[in-house]
Amino acid sequence: MGKLILPNLQGKQMGQVIVTLTVTNRIDQVLVQRGFISSEKVRSYPLDNILVNTGATLLCLPASIISQLGLVQGGEAQVETAAGVQQGQIFRDVELSIGERQGTFDCLELTEVPYALLGVTPMEVLGLESDLKNRKLRVLPMNSEQRYAKNCQVLLHSK
């Protein structure tokens, strides 16, 4: 996996997109479907004030949220931060819900900052893109594959 860059965000409010999302342990959901646990046992948390970071690839969660969700570690990645390149841990099977859109993703554990970041891969998969002018996420149409595919291609090539 390539490097993830976490910029220094202090004093850079202009053009930031902040969202509310929910993270859920997908393995818990499967255990409910199979009848092993009750739905009340599913670990799921709403998160407010999540920064959309087009410089990040993955969903990035603080260690405290990963621990509360009980996620399974699935690997490591080189992470480039303001403090230099560090080794980061990847965790599996996070269901991410933003509005009506949801999908299952890997996430990167953040140890240097206490907040979460939403990277470009989950946004592209869910059909979302940053609208920096209006400081919100734009929901791309999913019923028209050509339109959605075109927007994804533009996002991928604009880096």
pLDDT reported for residue 86: 76
Using an 8 Å Cβ cutoff, are 146 and 26 in contact? Answer: no
pLDDT one-digit tens code per residue, 75-121: 988 877 666 677 889 999 999 999 999 999 999 998 877 889 999 99
> pLDDT-derived band of residue 125, with 50, 70 and 90 as boundaries?
very high
d(CA 65, CA 21): 13
CA angle centred on 138, ends 91 and 140, rounded to 5°: 85
Stated pTM of the model: 0.77
